[in-house]
């Protein structure tokens, strides 16, 4: 794993960097919202997996596979959050929980989506990201 983000995210980060403007970047993010490798379907959304402090509806479930590697499943009604979570799932799935704990959301900034990281924004991606890291910490201890 690179010091900033897993190397398998490099192409995605580059793809976003190459966008002409922010609207093209968001359009690309909307496309990634449809490409979540492990979606959490609306039927599985409940209070236990809901992200608090997020005005849109957002849910995450974190677990380990048979080999003890991390699996992130996420769902949100806002496409921007959903797109960011799809990319985060691509980043973390297959890593060890210990590796996930070291991840920071700097890749989102590098993708030119810094505004999505403001804790004051109501879109809630940062709350979701922090929840993933907190769950990774728990999974690394079990």
Partner 1 sequence: MLDIEAIRADFPILDRVLPNGKNLVYFDNAATSQKPKCVINAMSKFYENYNSNAHRANHTLADEASSALEDARMKISNFFGANPENMIYTSGATEAINLVSYGWAKYNLEKGDVIVITEMEHHADIVPWQELSKEKGVEVRYVPINNETFTLDMEAFEIALEGAALVCVTHTSNVLGIRNPIEKIIKMSKKVGSKVLIDCAQGAPHEKIDFLNLGADFLAISAHKMAGPTGIGCLLTSTERIEEMGPFMTGGSMIKKVTTDGSTYKEGNAMFETGTPRIAEAIGWGAAVNWLEQFNMEDIHSHIHQIAAFAGNEMQKIPGIKIFGDPSNKDSSGAVSFLHETIQSQDLALLLDEGGYAVRTGHHCAQPLMDALGVPSTNRASFWIYNTQEEVEGFIEHLKYICERFS
Segment near partner 1 (CB under 8 A); pick from 38-46, 73-81, 96-104, 129-137: 73-81
As beta bridge partners, residue 71 has 63
**Token pair listed for 27:** 């359009």
Distance CA 100, CA 5 (A): 10
96 binding partner 1? (CB under 8 A): no
Which region, judged by CB under 8 A, interacts with partner 1, from 18-26, 42-50, 86-94, 97-105?
18-26
Task: Decide whether 36 or 123 has the Cβ nearer to partner 1.
Answer: 123
Strand partners, 61: 73
Q: Is the dihedral of CA 82, 29, 3, 39 positive or negative?
A: positive
Q: Is 26 in the site for partner 1 (CB under 8 A)?
A: yes
Residues forming the site for partner 1 (CB under 8 A): 22-23, 26-27, 30, 55-57, 77-81, 115-116, 121-123
């Amino acid at each position: 794993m690179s010091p900033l983000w897993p190397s398998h995210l490099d192409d995605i980060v580059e793809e976003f960097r190459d966008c002409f403007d922010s609207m093209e970047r968001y359009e690309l993010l909307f496309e990634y919202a449809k490409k979540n490798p492990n979606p959490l379907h609306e039927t599985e959304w409940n209070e236990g997996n809901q992200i608090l402090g997020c005005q849109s509806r957002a849910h995450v479930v974190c677990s380990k596979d048979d080999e003890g590697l991390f699996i992130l499943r996420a769902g949100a009604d806002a496409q921007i959050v959903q797109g960011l979570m799809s990319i985060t799932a691509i980043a973390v799935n297959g890593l060890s929980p210990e590796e996930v704990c070291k991840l920071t959301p700097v890749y989102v900034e590098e993708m030119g989506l810094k505004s999505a990281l403001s804790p004051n924004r109501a879109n809630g991606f940062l709350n979701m990201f922090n929840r993933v890291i907190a769950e990774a910490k728990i999974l690394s201890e079990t």
